[in-house]
Amino acid sequence: MIKGDGFELRVCRSQACPMAAVETQALVPRLQAVLEAANLGEFFRSLSLNPKKRYRFRVALAACPNACTQVYIADFGLIGQAVPTLEGDCVGCGVCEEVCEEEAVTLEGRWPLFHVERCLNCGLCIRACPKKVLTSEAKGYKVLVGGKLGRHPKLACEVVSLAQEEQVLSLLERCLAFYKAHCQAGERLGTIIQRVGWETFLSFLHADDQQN
């Protein structure tokens, strides 16, 4: 975990983990740079908050849906995704069907059929394929916001799927701007969203998309 002035960044060990759907190492310093540029520590101090409490904006990055870094209780969470597709001559061995924990892969004759409504895009079937004919059609990050624990816990909600790094960084910048504009007493982002409304938050988050 990386602790900065007014923020914390939790990152899983994607390089050493066989479950990783994406490689996260290049993204970590870029996320840290955005958090540092927001001057969150100075922002919290400007609010004259209780000095005995530690106020932090929490970001969590997980390389797969196992979410070891507790992304669902972070202010801003990221989950690596890899969308499977068949490229090559499948032999119908059934390994992909066996390893899928979501029952999102079934063999139709000798060909794997992916059920997108159940697939978490974890990439496990891709890594397990002995013939290497399953590959990633696309990779990216599921972006979640507003998670928190405390007296009134709330799981983070998805705002974007399969976001690329530049979009992830832009969304983080927008979330931080929204947070600083509406934070009154050091509360978590999820509490602020509940107060001002989900639609208001989404409108702010995607304002640049609507203008382009």
| Residue 44: CA count within 13 A, CB half-sphere | 20
Tell me, what amino acid is at 24?
Answer: T
pLDDT (tens digit, 9 = 90+) per residue, 16-60?
A: 788 888 999 999 999 999 999 999 999 999 998 887 788 899 999
Question: Is residue 210 over pLDDT 70?
Answer: no
| pTM (two decimals) | 0.91
pLDDT (tens digit, 9 = 90+) per residue, 77-126?
A: 999 999 999 988 888 898 999 999 999 999 887 788 899 999 999 999 99
- Domains of the chain by range and CATH? 2-80+139-211 (3.30.413.10)
H or E stretch at 173: helix 165-182
What are residue 144's DSSP bridge partners?
A: 77, 158
pLDDT (tens digit, 9 = 90+) per residue, 182-205?
A: 998 999 999 999 999 999 999 998
Write down the pLDDT at residue 15. Answer: 75
pLDDT (tens digit, 9 = 90+) per residue, 129-171?
A: 999 999 999 999 999 999 999 888 999 999 999 999 999 999 9
Quickly list DSSP for 95-164.
HHHHH-TT--EEEETTEEEE-TTT-----HHHHH-TT--EEEEEEEEEEEE--B-SSS-B--EEEEEEE-
Question: Is residue 212 over pLDDT 50?
Answer: no
The tokens for 140 are: 């990216």
**Helix, strand or coil for residue 12?**
coil
Q: Distances from the Cα of 200 to the Cαs of 33, 83, 168, 192, 195, in angstroms?
A: 27, 31, 20, 11, 10
Quickly state the pLDDT bin for 209 (edges 50, 70, 90).
low
Do 73 and 147 contact (CB within 8 A), yes or no? yes
**Helix, strand or coil for residue 184?**
coil
